[in-house]
A and B are shown apart, each in its own frame.
Chain A
Amino acid sequence: MKTLTPAFAADFAALAYETLERAPLESMEYYGRLEHTFQWKLVL
Chain B
Amino acid sequence: MEAGSIKGVSGSILERVFSHSTNFGCIAKAKKGLFDGDYVLALRGTAKMRDVITDLNCGLSTCSNNQPVHAGFNHTFNSFRKQLEQFFNKRANQKLNIHVVGHSLGGALANLAANWLKNHFGANVKLYTFGAPRVGYHSFALQTEAATNNHVYRCVHAADPVPLVPVWPFMHTEKEYILNGAATITPKAHRMTDQTPGYLNTASSFKSYAAISRGMEKRIQEEVRLDYEKRLECTRTSRWARKIGAALITHLRDTGKLYAIQNHYTNTLTVYDQIAKALTDSIDLSKSYTSDVKGILGYMLAFCGYPFKAISFTYASIRHILKLMLTNVFSLAGQAIALTK
Contact = CB atoms under 8 A, between A and B. Distances in A.
Interface of A: 1-7, 9-20, 22, 24-26, 30-31, 34-35, 37-44
**Majority secondary structure of chain B interface residues (helix, strand, loop or mixed):** mixed
Contacts of B6: 35, 39-40
Given A39-B28, A40-B28, A9 B153 contact: yes
Given A7-B206, A19-B20, A14 B103 contact: yes
B104 interface: yes
Interface string B94-114: 000101011110110000000
Interface in B7-24: 8-9, 12-20, 22-24
Contacts, number: 175
B40 interface: yes
Contacts of B9: 24-26
Contacts of B128: 4, 9, 12-13
Interface string B172-183: 000001010000
18 contacts: A3-B209, A4-B35, A6-B153, A6-B203, A6-B206, A10-B199, A12-B42, A13-B102, A13-B128, A13-B200, A18-B18, A26-B8, A38-B35, A40-B5, A40-B26, A41-B3, A41-B26, A43-B22
Interface of B: 1-6, 8-9, 12-20, 22-31, 33-35, 38-40, 42-44, 80, 83-84, 87, 97, 99, 101-104, 106-107, 124, 126, 128-130, 151, 153, 155, 177, 179, 192-193, 199-200, 203-204, 206-209, 212, 340
Nearest to B204: A7
B1 A17 contact: no
